[in-house]
């Protein structure tokens, strides 16, 4: 009954003008920020390839110091060596598997304990799965990497960032949140009652990310801390390498050939992190640097609060 009520609620709220705006915005280039970011600290998850790699280089080229959160020690060491050699800034890393709640909690606690202010936090790490996978914690893997990791890190950093009186959180979201066209199934986040779909699971995780943003924005209100979500554009990344050979062949030979360079996403993330035009703008969704109205399920504040409680339960946070 509840799902039926939500279906009709969302159906009435959909507007064709917002869909047409999304299509138009997909053709736009991002705004460019030329301001420097000397001696500021930027934390980036998933910085060794794709969007994260180019974003790390973009911020470093403008004077920022980096703290990268990655899975691979070897790739992290190579990245930091490259960054420090080319740009003369500090580059450090922390190793964390963002599909593991234990690892996420550990790195979140380490970030919260740092004396150095975090000026920009970019949640970029992501995966795409065509088949359902469960983590060691028994949770659907895509949900953990895309949503619960961002929730847990943000939650752990609330007091630190508020005490700084200035910081920006940017979550790399997706227009793919629209694949969850009729909203979240909070009673089935693990896809045990439904047939698993990679697109729908991805859409649900990205919708959850947007819903959490609504609550975090309230926590950060009037503190100098902002949180926004950005669709990175149709760019070529390594996402999807976990899938089978047929998917990888199709991605490499068909899909990737239509995509743009992730440098475009890096420019947009730099704009969000540095531009004075983004000062005090919070709780919004952007297609690159153009503000958009998300799909109705991602704006449902009632579900956002229910998801918040569910997320505390799933991550074992005691309030």
144, 134 Cβ separation under 8 angstroms: no
Distance CA 205, CA 177 (A): 7
Q: Is 88 left (phi over 0), alpha (psi -120 to 50) or beta?
A: left
pLDDT at 295 over 50: yes
- Residue 28 lies inside a defined structural domain of this protein: no
The mean-pLDDT minimum among 6-15, 39-48, 162-171 falls in 6-15
* Cβ-Cβ contacts under 8 Å for 173 (sequence gap 6 or more): 206, 209, 210, 229, 230, 231, 285
pLDDT at residue 1, as a whole number: 44
Tell me the per-residue pLDDT of 216-270, one tens digit each, with 9 for 90 and over: 999 999 999 999 999 997 554 555 455 445 444 444 544 444 456 788 999 999 9
Question: Is 30 part of any domain?
Answer: no
Structural domain of 212: 2-21+36-315
Per-residue pLDDT tens over the stretch 94-148: 999 999 999 999 999 999 999 999 999 999 999 988 899 999 999 999 999 999 9
308 falls within a domain = yes
The confidence score (pLDDT) of residue 319 equals 75
Domain assignment present for 29: no
What's the pLDDT at 2? 59
Between 24-33, 40-49, 216-225, the lowest mean confidence (pLDDT) is in 24-33
State how far the Cα of 101 lies from the Cα of 222, in Å rounded to an integer.
30
In a domain, 126, yes or no: yes
Q: Is there a domain that residue 132 lies in?
A: yes
Q: What is the CATH number of the domain that holds 105?
A: 3.40.50.720
For residue 263, being part of any structural domain is answered with yes
Looking at the predicted structure, is the pLDDT value of residue 9 above 70? yes
Average pLDDT over all residues of the chain: 91
Question: What is the tally of structural domains in the chain?
Answer: 1
Is there a domain that residue 162 lies in?
yes
**Helix ranges (DSSP H) in the chain:** 2-13, 16-25, 50-61, 73-87, 101-113, 141-143, 149-164, 198-219, 245-250, 263-274, 301-315
Instruction: Write down the pTM of the prediction.
Output: 0.91
């Amino acid at each position: 009954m509840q799902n039926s009520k939500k279906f009709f609620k969302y159906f009435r709220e959909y507007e064709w003008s917002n869909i047409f705006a999304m299509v138009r915005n997909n053709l736009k280039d991002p705004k460019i920020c030329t301001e420097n970011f000397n001696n500021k600290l930027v934390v980036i998850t998933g910085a060794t390839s794709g969007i994260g790699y180019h974003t790390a280089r973009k911020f470093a080229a403008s004077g920022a110091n980096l703290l990268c959160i990655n899975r691979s020690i070897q790739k992290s060491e190579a990245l930091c060596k490259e960054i420090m050699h080319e740009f003369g800034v500090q580059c450090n890393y922390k190793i964390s598997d963002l599909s593991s709640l234990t690892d996420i909690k550990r790195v979140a606690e380490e970030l919260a304990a740092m004396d150095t202010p975090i000026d920009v936090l970019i949640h970029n790490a992501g995966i795409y799965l065509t088949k359902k996978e469960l983590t060691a914690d028994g949770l659907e893997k895509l949900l953990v990497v895309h949503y619960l990791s961002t929730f847990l890190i943000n939650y752990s950093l609330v007091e630190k960032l508020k005490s700084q009186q200035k910081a920006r959180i940017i979550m790399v979201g997706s227009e793919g949140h629209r694949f969850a066209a009729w909203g979240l199934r909070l009673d089935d986040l693990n896809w045990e009652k439904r047939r698993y779909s990679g697109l729908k699971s991805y859409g649900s995780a990205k919708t959850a990310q947007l819903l959490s943003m609504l609550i975090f924005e309230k926590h950060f209100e009037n503190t100098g801390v902002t949180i926004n979500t950005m669709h990175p554009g149709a760019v070529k990344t390594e996402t999807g390498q976990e899938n089978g050979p047929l998917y990888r062949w199709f991605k490499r030979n068909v899909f990737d050939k239509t995509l743009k360079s992730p440098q475009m996403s890096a420019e947009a993330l730099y704009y969000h992190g540095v531009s004075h035009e983004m000062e005090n703008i919070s709780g919004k969704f952007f297609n690159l640097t153009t503000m958009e109205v998300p799909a109705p399920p991602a704006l449902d504040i009632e579900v956002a609060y229910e998801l918040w409680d569910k997320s505390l339960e799933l991550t074992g946070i005691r309030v």
